[in-house]
Amino acid sequence: MIWETVRLSLISIRRNVLRSFLTLLGIVIGVAAVIAMLTIGSGTTEKVKTDISKLGSNLLVVRSGRPAGPGGPGGLDQVTRPLAAKDVEALVAHLSGARAIAPASQKQVRVIFGTESLTSGVTGTDSAYLDARDWNLVSGRPFSDSETRAGAGVCLIGETVRQQFFGAGDPEGETIRINRTSCRIIGLLEPKGYTGFGQDQDNVVLMPLAAYQRRIAGNRDIDNIYIAADDRTPTTELQPRVEDILRDTRRITPDRDPDFSIRDMTQIADAMASATTTMTGMLGAVAGVSLLVGGIGIMNIMLVSVTERTREIGIRLAIGAHENHILIQFLVEATVLSLLGGIIGILIGLAIAGLASVTLTIPFAPSPAVILLAVGFSALIGMVFGFFPALRGARLDPIDALRHE
């Protein structure tokens, strides 16, 4: 009986392909929007999470400059005292609960090997940097202490740099030119991929801080200090300790604002993730309105369908159809129609999300639960908005209906 009814409704939908399709557009757009949004949203969240773990978990980053607002970076226009070696030394000497403390300065610089060139993020740092950022070497070795101290012409390169210059080949022992200086490659960094902002984290060259300062930056400034908390210490506990030590060495009395900022990467990650969720929610509301419009479209077309088929309803009632038979027939038709729209919408939504995941380099993360929900929801829309027209059909007087022309 139900199967018969479903078959019947498919036939009647097929009889009016164009009209059915136009009716479905609201549902299709609504469901496609929801699916695309939620899929992209969860992909972004996943991406942010993996970015954070790539950045190094439980990481604090110190920068010079006043924090602009809650959690925000310092304004670029401020003239501020840069971080210096003594700040790092003070932290190394006095900070407890840190697993690794590494200074780092970086700059986009043209790197040359043979006839090839590449603009790369050149970073001056020490061997603790790898530890602080949870970054391993695929091959080779980190800087030795003496190389760090002396500012030797050695460097570690990221995967992008290797591919540009050496293809799949072994870069170790080769010498690349950076600005007017050169360095010998002693190791290859593990690939990290792109950040959520589309920045290639593998397009990097690491070199000893002293060498960077002397040969590339031309000053002794330190841009960032990376501090990784150990397993027992939450970053929220570590942060005030860092601030105390730095206020001390930089002689900032407690009544004044610090001239440096400490960013907690975990907090930033959470903020980003929740911003994504908010966005998803807002866009979801927009999609919800579209679904409502789609539902009204279904109601409208079902009313038209009931009117058009008044005579058919009369015939069915005359030969002994129960009211519920008619009710179910039109309810099933509305549900099948809206379900069809839902399925088309899901396919389009997934296609959009798939495309977005390629262009935004985020993972394609379709959620079976969300898809199932969309299917259920579109069926529900059909039932809810189809009910009134179906009831109208079922309540028709058979004699009037038979006389209808």
**Residues at the interface with other proteins (CB under 8 A):** 1, 4, 15, 311-312, 314-325, 398-399, 402
- The CA distance from 185 to 158, in Å, is 11
Output 237 or 400, the one with its CB closest to other proteins: 400
> How far is CA 2 from each of CA 5, 67, 319, 331, 332, rounded to the nearest angstrom?
5, 66, 19, 11, 8
CB-based contact 381:28 (threshold 8 Å): no
154-157 and 98-113 as β-strands: parallel, antiparallel, unpaired? unpaired
Residue 301 C-beta: closest distance to other proteins, Å: 18
Main-chain dihedrals φ then ψ at residue 212, nearest 5 degrees: -60, -50
Residue 316 C-beta: closest distance to other proteins, Å: 7
For residue 268, the Cα-to-chain-centroid distance in whole angstroms is 13
Is the C-alpha dihedral spanning 119, 121, 125, 129 positive or negative?
negative
Output 4 or 237, the one with its CB closest to other proteins: 4
* 182 SS3 class: strand
Output 78 or 324, the one with its CB closest to other proteins: 324
Residue 7 C-beta: closest distance to other proteins, Å: 10
Residue 386 C-beta: closest distance to other proteins, Å: 20
Output 94 or 395, the one with its CB closest to other proteins: 395
Residue 10 C-beta: closest distance to other proteins, Å: 13
Residue 14 C-beta: closest distance to other proteins, Å: 10
- The CA distance from 112 to 67, in Å, is 37
Instruction: Tell me the two tokens of residue 223.
Output: 């841009």
Output 237 or 323, the one with its CB closest to other proteins: 323
Residue 12 C-beta: closest distance to other proteins, Å: 9
CB-based contact 335:379 (threshold 8 Å): yes
Q: Which helix (H) or strand (E) holds 107?
A: strand 98-113
Output 184 or 322, the one with its CB closest to other proteins: 322
Output 73 or 398, the one with its CB closest to other proteins: 398
* 177 SS3 class: strand
